[in-house]
Chains A and B, each alone.
Chain A
């Protein structure tokens, strides 16, 4: 394999000694590790094409990787495969401020796009917490979100066109710089496909005008259910906040010690509710938001007076994951989405699981769109704790499905939630997913084993999706 790649890649672009391949053994989900057989670091599209053609001809699996910040193990390497790093594709190819698009290579960092178009008063809207490090190629693969999704959407709403190669090295392009293309919406299919359908080499993103100003309200509640109802009331009042986040008391405590954002430590839950737009609009909306939050029983309200204030209010939320690192050796971040009205029930369930497994679990919540990030605190050096954490997480994800939600709102399935896919989907839907995969990749060489479980795995997993009292794939043996 190394020799075949060295045919067209220079020496520093092919890594195969363990001391060089070890750094690639995991992505942001460090609980899962595999040292890849070979790491390829192409820097031209032609080289990507050759890597794929070579692997395809030799039947060697390929795992594409962006910045390696993913939280579901989507870029977990294979011991018998090539890890295809897109890290060298860092060029902003073109900015068109008039048509409001930027053409970028997949290794360009999410935040770098907004930085480079800032002089035109534009920005790229999706803002995952990892935005200073994560790359747009990975964002496309995972359909990443962020804290402003409710109003501005996910990656799928903000990407116009994707170019790349299928596993056989054939060039392929989805979408265009027009707002639609003829035929099936393959762009939507490829975005969020977790690197299973194609390798992305160029992305055209939509740019939005930067709102003139933004202000955020911080509201305290003495009860989680009340805070949840306040969120519903804001939306029922016809307001679409730019951001609407909730943190429970354990989360607030942890971040306050870390960043001193001025959070109310007495509150059982705090809400951050942001308005953006013209100064007139924001003033108007903040007044309406305040009225609703007060009527919903907020015990304390403060409104950011200036940009420094606003950033300080947000600093705690944005640093939430980092803060957990201070109070626990390890943490495990979940990503379920639930209908908001079931929030109280799910949080009560999580509290029960804390007792059952003897582990703490602070909660941060993209409240506006129902995306919950419970953070289980554990110590990976304690083998028993890691196992208990995984069981804890599995129970919470299955609870999310039970209340009508989903196992992943923005982090992707990867290897992490692959067993829960057996619970969320029936065998017929999983068969469709596999058939779609075969249409793009008949040999199953691109990122195999991720995102969609094999039906045999579901049978082994033993917790089947039961629909209408009928067990899925009864033809398979149980273990």
Chain B
């Protein structure tokens, strides 16, 4: 056990014995996300650095405190990327926080989610044990897939000491098409195109305008642009636009009303909610800025087979959709496997009961 994981282990064991809640925190850029953080801060940033990176193996391993920006620039220097385009939500974002939050960006519908790229983790769990799951290879089915279980667990099961990820080559070229159309037609178009072999790597609709990003060989982009129509743009301006969606710096995301994230089957028609909406992921992700009561927003997502998360706003009434009793029981039991004293990031995912 190296010094950093040993120090996590010692701190967690002592906290477990004393019953002291711990709040795992890297750069604090996602403090707003999930349930209200609670407990003494356990800062993960000292445990940092890329442990191994072999571009030709398409695998990178890094410690939890590694700044996400540093990791991404190391990949960029080798023509590679985190294909799930995780949001940073601030300059201090760390790899550990990124994996714990489990959030993916604009390329998700085309390339896969964060959890799809997690190959292995080393964690210190709520008993102070250093555990290792998965590995640094692309295909590995030995043992239960605990690595992916940890992705998006919001630090409730353990500290992610080190994470191994699959990385992908950056596209040779990209461009964005801009088409004017109302929401219902945009949803239809996004789904139709997703069912065709086209190099669509991201979509975003708001306020009557659909933006479609294409990634791949220049010849393929040219062909596709001709076929889909619209105004074609590329370069810094477009990169800034997608950055604005990914980092939520786009004007849509500012405003007084709470921001809701509705994850739904992609082809469902426009959701009837007051306020404004922005659609990503070929229709599967609907952002809503709405003053509608939480019950109404949750019902709108539930009725079509999805779920709603209060992304930004007053979180006192709960952030995530309620689980079925069977799943809620499994959540409690899994939490107890890794954190029997219930000290890690209490209430960040669901209220402890």
Contacts and interface: CB of A to CB of B under 8 A. Distances in A.
B217 A285 contact: yes
B321 interface: yes
Interface stretch (A20-28, A264-272, A350-358, A406-414): A406-414
B324 A409 contact: no
B195 A183 contact: no
A212 B196 CA distance: 9
Contact of B141 (A142, A212, A284): A142
Contact of B323 (A182, A405, A407): A182
Nearest to A397: B142
Interface in A91-112: 96-101
B223 A280 contact: yes
Contacts of A405: 135, 137
A172 B327 contact: yes
Contact of B138 (A143, A170, A183, A337): A337
B305 interface: yes
A183 B349 contact: yes
Interface in A163-211: 166, 170-174, 176-186, 188-189, 191-193, 197, 209-211
A99 B137 contact: no
Interface string B200-234: 00000000000000001101101110000000000
Interface centre among B55, B113, B327 (most CB of A within 10 A): B327
Interface string B124-136: 0100010111011
Interface residues of B, number: 84
A428 interface: yes
A189 B327 CA distance: 13
A360 B306 CA distance: 54
A239 B116 contact: no
The 9 A-B pairs of least Cβ separation, nearest first, read A280-B219, A188-B148, A409-B139, A238-B169, A439-B333, A369-B138, A232-B56, A177-B265, A178-B306
B132 A404 contact: no
B292 interface: no
Given A337-B137, A337-B138, A179 B305 contact: no
A424 interface: yes
Interface string B153-194: 100010000000000111010000000000000000001101
A333 B250 CA distance: 53
A314 interface: no
B148 A185 contact: yes
B170 A425 contact: no
B149 interface: yes
B326 A191 contact: no
Contacts of B264: 178
A154 interface: yes
Contacts of B306: 176, 178
A468 interface: yes
B57 to A, nearest CB: 6
Given A178-B306, A211-B197, A149 B265 contact: no
